[in-house]
Amino acid sequence: MSLPILGIEKIFNLPYKKEDFKIVHHTPINMTVIPEAHKHDFFMLLIIGQGSGIHTIDFHDYKVSPRTVFFLAPGQAHHWRLAKNTSGYQVMFSAAFMLQKGPLWPFFTPDSPPVLKLETVQYGQLIQELQLMETETAAAIIQHRLQIVLLLLQRWYAAVHPEEVAAAANHLINRFLLLLEKHYAQYHEVAYFAAQLHVTASYLNQVCKKETGKTAGAYIRERLLLESKRMLILTDMDVKEIAFTLGFNDTSYFSRFFRKYTSLTPLDFRRQL
């Protein structure tokens, strides 16, 4: 069994067509407990105004508190347990709805911290933009307002996570991460991605290391490990199936790879969590 994937139209029971955008103001939030992890095929901003709880994203627990923004990209596994008085906004949108198609936003990359605590003034500015977006009916204007919201969040995110923004701003690293997200299960060698980007493997590693402190090889390993963990915990696939799905022809090699970087065998990881 694979992890449930929910689209915007499934969440809001829209049978006729798949919506590209949805904004919901929760006063308070109507579903305070989501006990089972799932993932979406859209991007989501969860903006907490008041309340508390725990939001679990890709096996990491994050504290829910006032003036906190959570970022969820398609494919990320999450669930939450919130206090009954928790209020705020959910902003959901597809990749097609975004004006900025190519470059990755730093907070939506798989290994970036998916949470940002806002100052009071920042939160007030964000809410003003959300209120304008909430009352707008023209899709083209909503797209531009969404772009403003994301740019503001990127500015504030950069002050807290400058290394993540530097990676997203570097054209070569950005293109590498986009390729990696598409092909991590098929290709595990830096040389493949370097060839697609028309640079050498050593140069790609060097640029990644200089800008982010991690080599291209480390990015590949971390992406494979993340997907391995998702599949081990959130599906009932056996280790052999997971290894094959992620491009490992040898189950024992996959197990050694997983244990080397987590200190646990795949089955031990599954039992532990």
CA distance 17 to 21: 12
Would you tell me which CATH number, out of the four given (3.40.50.2000, 3.30.540.10, 1.10.10.60, 3.40.50.300), belongs to the domain 170-272? 1.10.10.60
Q: Is the fold of 5-160 the same as that of 170-272? A: no
pLDDT at residue 82 greater than cutoff 90: yes
Phi-psi region of 235 (alpha: psi -120 to 50; beta: other; left: phi over 0): beta
Provide the total of helices (H) and of strands (E) in the chain, helices listed first.
11, 10
* pLDDT tens-digit map of 182-239: 999 999 999 999 999 999 999 999 999 998 889 999 999 999 999 999 999 888 899 9
- Per domain, the residue ranges of the chain are 5-160, 170-272
Provide the pLDDT for residue 4: 53
Angle separating helix axes 139-160 and 120-135, nearest 10 degrees? 170
d(Cα 264, Cα 91) in Å, to the nearest integer? 37
- CATH hierarchy code of domain 5-160: 2.60.120.280
Span 44-79, pLDDT tens digits: 999 999 999 999 999 899 999 999 999 999 888 899
For residue 85, name the pLDDT band (cuts at 50, 70, 90): very high
235: three-class secondary structure by DSSP:
coil
